[in-house]
Amino acid sequence: MKHIPFKGVIAYPITPFDKDGKVDLPLFRRLVERLVNSGSHGIAPLGSTGVLPYLSDPEKEAVTEATIQQVAGRVPTLVGVSNLTTDKTIYHARFAEKAGATAVMIIPMSYWKLTDQEIIEHYDAVASKISIPIMAYNNPATGGVDMSPALLKRLLEIPNVTMIKESTGDVQRMHYLRKELGEEVAFYNGSNPLALAAFAAGATGWCTAAPNLIPGLNMGLYNAILNNDLASARKVFYEQVDLLKFIVTKGLPRAIKAGLQLLGEDGGHLRGPLKPLNNDEILELEQILSTIKELDYQFS
């Protein structure tokens, strides 16, 4: 039986920097603590939200260790270990396992478009070097390669590749995965505006940075789905869809940082070339947040 340690809402923290451009680990731990306290069902550091590709190796290691120490087993952890080269991916996957991660997430980052065979061998090579489960992640918009449903199916034949995260924004990909792989396959939605459609299609979980800002509405959607209450799920989805679209459109690290500050939290600094939202964008976010903040507290 496949080992599938995640379901529900898997929350992605940002990686904040201090004013000198260094990772601000104390702030990072506070942000992780907020996510655990908000009821998130899993914590996923070093994702796109966590600007994984912009970090040095020692920074990635420090963030991994800080997450595991802070979460302290209260919920499972999913550590991003993707890298352009196979050797480096193995290196970080082994580090995450040794540090106590529940599972690792791997997107086949590409500069040169990879062939299917190159992708399979990449996952095979990493999987053979660790014992914890792997979530294979498809996101052509950031990773640069689009894995076909057939390729994702092939990856699931690797014993510890047990989960698929789909972020293409095409719900028909999820239909295919479910039809081809049966009800036991665990697929996760990584496209925030598809949260309702993906749960309707049978997604096991939702990988999202939104709980940094509106955890009550996020958990509320999942709970309505668990209760088989579509009318309520639709209602709570439409209450949050504007925020979900905003954070995706503006880029998750920039939008979450700005949202945290609007909520009175410290969001830290960004690492260049990423810049803060401009004033118009912040005003737009403020307006969206103000209309849903109270709704969020009702759910949390």
Closer CB to a copy of itself, 4 or 274, in the complex: 274
Contacts with a copy of itself by CB under 8 A lie at 21, 48, 51-54, 84-87, 108, 111-115, 117-119, 121-122, 125, 141-142, 144, 169, 171-172, 175, 178-179, 193-194, 196-197, 200-202, 225, 228-231, 233-234, 238, 241-242, 245, 251-254, 271-275, 278
DSSP 269: B
102 labelled as ligand-binding?
no
Q: What is the 3-state secondary structure (H, E, C) of 122-178?
A: HHHHHHCCCCCCEEEEECHHHHCCCCCHHHHHHHCCCCCEEEEEECCCCHHHHHHHH
Q: Which of 12, 123, 137, 222 is catalytic?
A: 137
Q: Are 222 and 198 in contact (CB under 8 A)?
A: no
Closer CB to a copy of itself, 46 or 68, in the complex: 46
Closer CB to a copy of itself, 6 or 237, in the complex: 237
Other Cβ atoms within 10 Å of 230 Cβ, number? 13
Q: What is the closest distance, in whole angstroms, from the C-beta atom of residue 266 to a copy of itself in the complex?
A: 21
- DSSP sequence for 70-108: HHTTSS-BEEE---SSHHHHHHHHHHHHHHT-SEEEE--
Q: What is the closest distance, in whole angstroms, from the C-beta atom of residue 231 to a copy of itself in the complex?
A: 5
**3-class secondary structure, 116:** helix
Closer CB to a copy of itself, 90 or 156, in the complex: 90
Beta-carbon contacts of 45 under 8 Å, excluding residues fewer than 6 positions away, are: 12, 13, 15, 32, 63, 64, 66, 67, 77, 79, 80
Q: Which of 165, 222, 250, 257 is catalytic?
A: 165
Give residue 65's Cα distance to chain centre.
18
Closer CB to a copy of itself, 19 or 275, in the complex: 275
Catalytic-residue membership of 54: no
Where do we find the tokens 């201090």? 18
Other Cβ atoms within 10 Å of 23 Cβ, number? 21
Q: Are 140 and 168 in contact (CB under 8 A)?
A: yes
Closer CB to a copy of itself, 70 or 212, in the complex: 212
Q: What is the closest distance, in whole angstroms, from the C-beta atom of residue 73 to a copy of itself in the complex?
A: 30
CA distance 101 to 128: 17
Closest CA to 4 of 74, 78, 80, 97: 78
Q: What is the closest distance, in whole angstroms, from the C-beta atom of residue 137 to a copy of itself in the complex?
A: 13
Q: What is the closest distance, in whole angstroms, from the C-beta atom of residue 41 to a copy of itself in the complex?
A: 20
CA distance 37 to 40: 7
Catalytic-residue membership of 176: no
Q: What is the closest distance, in whole angstroms, from the C-beta atom of residue 199 to a copy of itself in the complex?
A: 8
Catalytic positions are 137, 165
Which residues are known binding-site members for pyruvate?
49
